[in-house]
Structure 1
């Protein structure tokens, strides 16, 4: 699952590939927003952790659950 995180006052978005489902990501966001001075944290597929203070979140775009093929999709 690919998610894009917009951070306030940062011109580039963060793109994270994670094994979480859309529902799990949404639950993490809701939990982070419910805590004063909370943080939204997610671990990518390589085990790296991304942590963003919720006060700095601009948006979180959750991609589709389907996997994309790798390489050229055409047949000869």
Structure 2
């Protein structure tokens, strides 16, 4: 979890410990919680990252399509009117 700030890492570890205590009735130490989080980041991280990239790409494509429509609406007729 080198990519997380110290405060973020501490927050996630605390949440894992809280989950184990509330949902499973188990106490888990900070080291065990940190190891579990690191494992989950390594295993799930690429899937979540790729999903975020896919979602971002779709959003950008929609924005570009809207921009293209906006630009087309600004076009003005050119040349002489037909008789």
TM-score by length of 2: 0.26
Q: Larger Rg: 1 or 2?
A: 2
- Whichever structure has more strand as a proportion of its residues is 1
- Whichever structure has more helix as a proportion of its residues is 2
TM-score by length of 1: 0.28
